[in-house]
Structures are given as C-alpha cells and as structure tokens.
Amino acid sequence: MNETQEYNSAAEYLQYFYEIPDDLPELPLADEPFAAVWTRPDGGELRGLDVLAYLANELGLPADDFPWENVDALRLGRTQTLAGRLPVITTESHADFRNMEALLNGRAEPMALPPTVNAFTMQTRAKAIRRHRVILLNRAPYSNIPADALGLDEDDWIVRSQRLRLRHECAHYETLRLFGGMRNHPLDEIAADALGQIAAFGNFDADRQRLFFGLERGRGVCHGRLSFYCRTVRPEEREAVYLAVDRVLDSTAAELNRLAGRGATELELLKALAGSSVAERAKQG
C-alpha cells in the first residue's frame, strides 16, 4: 500500500500485517553489496574529523560544505542485524543530525525536523552513494521522554535510549529484508520498539510503550509520536486507532514475556510481532 493513501476507516488501517515466509535463509543474511563501501580496512569505528574525511575522500560526499556543530562527537561504525550489517552514523547535536541527513541525501540544506526525530533507517539519495542503506542516530532521550518519567538518571537514560534506538532501526531493516517491507505504521513501531525495549531494559513494558507513543491508557488520546504514524487515517477515525493500539500493548507484553521465558530467539520474537495485525491482536486481547 502507498504510505500516502488515506484510509477510509481505522479498521482497514489496522488490518495490515506481514506475511511471514515459511522458509527463511540462514541468518544473519549476507551483507548487501553497499555495506563493504562503508568500512575501513580494519573494520574499526571512525570518530570526529575522521568521519568527515572518510565521507568526503572515500565516498565523495561534500562534508565540508556543512556547518558542523559538534564534530568531535561524530561516529561512523557498523552494526550486525539479522538481515546483514549496516553502517551506523551517530551525532550528538540535532543540527548535525539534520546536516548529516541532508548530506547523505544529496541536498545542500538541511530540512526542518522536530527535536523528537532522532533516527532514520535511510535509503540514501546522494549520487555517490545512491540507494545505500544507512542508520543515522542522534544522541538524545528516546521519544523525547525525560529520564525522571522512567525513574532513571539522565546519563543512564541516554545510554539506554541509544541502545533502544539502534535496535529499533535494525528491526525496520530486518522486516524489509526478511518479510519484504518497512513502514511507519503502529504494527512496525510496536515490533521495533519491543525489540528496542528488550535491548535497553531486558523486557517489553506496556506502560513504558504508552509513554513512548504518547498514549493515555483507555482514553483514545494521543499527544506523542503515534499520531505522526496515523496521519494517513481520516481524523475522525484516529481515536479508534489509538484505542486499538492501547488495547494490544498489555497482551503483547504478556506474549513476549511468555516467549522470552521459553528462550525465544530474536527472529521468533520479530515473526510473532510482525505476523499478526493490530486488529487481530485487539480482538484476541
């Protein structure tokens, strides 16, 4: 389906799920060809000015054309996913995050992005690296949630946020290569956040997810990022989407706890999360 499609009803929107292949190849999948371009010979992480030099000299990107705010904090490495390795670029300034997004997409000027947007799994558009997949992360509190809302100190929350954010973006790439798609849809976001929460906290917690989505329990009210994903749903139908998502979070947490207790693999968790629609889960829950 087209991401810009306007849905006639919440019911239609919530029917979406992934068809899980019966036979998946051995994991992790082999890296896509572009991945080799993003590594130096020793495979190590690049930092600071070395990141800009690599982007300019090895990849042909005009990195010097941008006014970088915190060059010392720049990082370029790679991460292993179930679907192969991906390059990961990390910034520690929202201005640098926007600059890096523009650079990778071949634009001279950064676009306006709200401070709550701090991660992309990008398909790059810059001519020299067209159609590469890159994870771009900015170091910031996840979903713009303050540390005290989670009972954490700020340093601990930033570390957990980065762990959650990285696993979240890897999950999107995994659904793309393993199941054939990735979307800004509540189903994808629950799946990606669930694996992210497990990476950052050791479990998936429904109330924590309500915080990340900006959902109020049982009220059909959203004042956070879930509303962004539902913008293709007609306004009068969005309350029904919020209620359905709210309804499935507790049952999803219980299901994941059962699977984890049986020693389920990350692939088994991803298949369980992506292979059942929000509508079906709401009906069962």
Phi and psi at residue 118, to the nearest 5°: -135, 20
Is the model's pLDDT at 115 over the cut of 90? no
Burial of 196 (0-12, 13-18, 19+ CB in 10 A): buried
Confidence class for position 5, pLDDT limits 50, 70, 90: low
Is the model's pLDDT at 147 over the cut of 70? yes
Asked if 84 and 103 sit in the same domain, the reply is: yes
Asked if 172 and 58 sit in the same domain, the reply is: no
Expressed as residue numbers, the domain containing 258 is: 1-18+146-285
Strand partners, 216: 221
Asked if 64 and 112 sit in the same domain, the reply is: yes
Mean pLDDT, all residues of the chain = 94
Asked if 111 and 5 sit in the same domain, the reply is: no
Q: Which residues contact 94 (CB under 8 A, 6 or more apart)?
A: 113, 115, 118, 138, 140
Is the model's pLDDT at 17 over the cut of 90? yes
Is residue 193 domain-resident? yes
- Residue range 85-113: mean pLDDT, rounded: 97
- Determine what percent of the chain is predicted with pLDDT higher than 90: 91
pTM of this structure: 0.95
Is the model's pLDDT at 8 over the cut of 70? no
Is the model's pLDDT at 4 over the cut of 60? no
For residue 271, give both structure tokens: 């298949």
Q: Which pLDDT score is estimated for 40?
A: 77
Asked if 173 and 194 sit in the same domain, the reply is: yes
Is residue 157 domain-resident? yes
**Among residues 55, 67, 57, which one has the least CA distance to residue 110?**
67
Asked if 169 and 86 sit in the same domain, the reply is: no
Cβ–Cβ < 8 Å for 185, 229:
yes
Is the model's pLDDT at 87 over the cut of 80? yes
Cβ–Cβ < 8 Å for 94, 141:
no
Is residue 133 domain-resident? yes
What value does the CA radius of gyration of the chain take, rounded to a whole number of Å?
Answer: 19
Asked if 150 and 285 sit in the same domain, the reply is: yes
Q: Which pLDDT score is estimated for 6?
A: 65
Structure confidence by residue, pLDDT tens digits, 200-230:
999 999 999 999 999 999 999 999 999 989 9
**Among residues 245, 198, 221, 274, which one has the least CA distance to residue 17?**
274
Q: What is the DSSP string of 193-205?
A: HHHHHHHHHSS--
Asked if 108 and 194 sit in the same domain, the reply is: no
Q: Is 19 left (phi over 0), alpha (psi -120 to 50) or beta?
A: beta
Is residue 38 domain-resident? yes
Number of other residues whose CB lies within 10 A of the CB of residue 4:
7
Is the model's pLDDT at 84 over the cut of 80? yes
Asked if 214 and 89 sit in the same domain, the reply is: no
DSSP-assigned letter for residue 175: I
Structure confidence by residue, pLDDT tens digits, 166-200:
999 999 999 999 999 999 999 999 999 999 999 99
Asked if 181 and 62 sit in the same domain, the reply is: no
Residue where a domain terminates, one of 140, 162, 194? 140
Q: Which pLDDT score is estimated for 2?
A: 40
Pairing between β-strand 215-216 and β-strand 221-222 as defined by DSSP bridges: antiparallel
Asked if 185 and 199 sit in the same domain, the reply is: yes
CA angle at 258 for the pair 256 and 259, rounded to the nearest 5°: 65
Asked if 124 and 170 sit in the same domain, the reply is: no
Is the model's pLDDT at 275 over the cut of 70? yes
Is residue 101 domain-resident? yes
Is the model's pLDDT at 279 over the cut of 50? yes
Pairing between β-strand 75-81 and β-strand 46-47 as defined by DSSP bridges: antiparallel
CA angle at 261 for the pair 256 and 262, rounded to the nearest 5°: 100
Provide the domain count of the chain: 2
Cβ–Cβ < 8 Å for 187, 278:
yes
Confidence class for position 12, pLDDT limits 50, 70, 90: very high
Residue where a domain terminates, one of 140, 162, 177? 140
Is residue 24 domain-resident? no
Q: Cα(129)–Cα(76) distance, rounded to whole angstroms?
A: 15
Residue where a domain terminates, one of 116, 140, 164? 140
Provide the residue type at 41 as one letter.
Answer: P
Phi and psi at residue 134, to the nearest 5°: -140, 135
- Residue range 255-271: mean pLDDT, rounded: 96
